[in-house]
Amino acid sequence: MAETKKLAIIASQGTLDWAYPPFILASTAAAMDMEAVVFFTFYGLPLLKKEIDAKVAPHTNPAMPMKMPFGSSGFQEINWQVPNIISGNMPGFDNMATSLMKETFKKKGVATVEQLREMCQESGVRFIACQMTMEVFGFSKEEFIDGVEYGGAATFLEYAADADISLFV
Amino acid sequence: MSAIASSVELDCKGLNCPLPILKTKKTIDGMQSGEVLKMMATDPGSVSDMASWANRTGNEVVEHEEAAGIHIFYIKKK
């Protein structure tokens, strides 16, 4: 068999939709006998909190489909065109959109972000929290899950220098 | 019905990417070399994903069959 491949990911986004790719790719890499490291920085850092409260904000991404996870199949196919003036200003809109996306994911058999994160840790994926971001945004280690390493750009780059795949999410 | 004998079964029906792969890996890890896992999935993406996973890990998809949207993979542990 080929030598062990290495995957290096920087997770810089903290919305629910962008929380998925780092955990999906890292857990799958581990399942494919690869080593994987995810470096959490800036808005990606809260993904290491014990309770992940990531949300989606539809007004920040006009390409995001707005579909209902219930009703007849025809109804579920409707892509609701909500103008930004509403999605960006209506109180509770992001919470509603987040609930809808979570419900859709659940119905489609997609794992939750928490489940994927757990599977990453079970299979030996290393998580590194950006120390600088912690200082800047005022996070403490007590807020994060166990098993997290702490470091900076050099810590990540030392690993990434030998990585076969490096991704910035 | 397939003639391939499997010692372990894994039901991944209704699960979406990457769960069928993650669960397959976990199950295979607990099996003996040469044993065959029968994995069932409804995720259409699992067809190419199982092949890629097998290519990288050295396990072998001995057979893949599909009926009524259900994919059945027979995977032999290396």
For chain B, which domains are there?
8-76 (3.30.110.40)
A90 touches chain B (CB under 8 A): no
Q: How many CB pairs under 8 A join A and B?
A: 44
What's the sign of the alpha-carbon dihedral A89, A90, A91, A93?
negative
Mutate to test the interface with A, among B22, B28, B71, B78 (most CBs of A within 10 A): B22
pLDDT of residue A167: 98
Please state, in angstroms and as integers, the Cα–Cα distance from residue B53 to each residue in A41, A86, B18, B22, B46, following that order.
29, 44, 11, 10, 10
Which has the minimum average pLDDT: A54-63, A136-145, B20-29?
A: A54-63
Query: How many residues comprise chain A?
Result: 169
pLDDT tens digit sequence for A79-89 = 888 888 888 88
| Per-residue pLDDT at A85 | 84
In terms of pLDDT, which residue wins out, A65 or B17? Answer: B17
Please give the distance of CA A144 from its chain centroid, rounded to a whole number. 15
Domains defined for chain A, CATH in brackets: 6-53+112-168 (3.40.1260.10), 58-107 (no CATH)
ipTM: 0.90
Question: For residue B63, what are the contacts with CB-CB under 8 A and spacing of at least 6?
Answer: B2, B4, B72, B73, B74
Question: Which of chain A's residues have a Cβ under 8 Å away from the Cβ of B21?
Answer: 28, 31-32
C-alpha to C-alpha distance for A124 and A56, rounded to whole angstroms:
28
For residue B1, what pLDDT is reported?
A: 54
For the four alpha carbons of B38, B44, B49 and B51, in that order, the dihedral sign comes to: positive
Q: Residues A3-50: pLDDT tens digits?
A: 899 999 999 999 999 999 999 999 999 999 999 999 999 999 999 999
Give the A window 30-59 contacts with B, CB below 8 Å: 30-34
C-beta of residue A8 within 8 angstroms of C-beta of residue A166: yes
Q: What are the two backbone dihedrals, phi and then psi, of residue A41, each rounded to the nearest 5 degrees? A: -140, 160
Tokens of B4: 């391939």
Closest CA to B73 of B47, B43, B45, B44: B47
What confidence tens digit (pLDDT) does each residue in A147-164 have?
A: 999 999 999 999 999 999
How far apart are the C-alpha atoms of A29 and A120, rounded to whole Å? 9
Residues of A in contact with B22 (CB under 8 A): 27-28, 31, 119, 123
* C-alpha to C-alpha distance for B23 and B39, rounded to whole angstroms: 10
Among the listed residues A27, A101, A7, the one whose alpha carbon sits nearest the alpha carbon of residue B17: A27
Give the pLDDT score at A2. Answer: 61
Tell me if chain B has a CB within 8 Å of the CB of A165.
no
Q: What is the pLDDT of residues A85-110, one digit of tens each?
A: 888 888 888 898 999 999 989 999 99
H or E, element range at A75: helix A73-77
| A108·B19 Cβ contact <8 A | no
Q: Residue A133 pLDDT > 90, yes or no?
A: yes
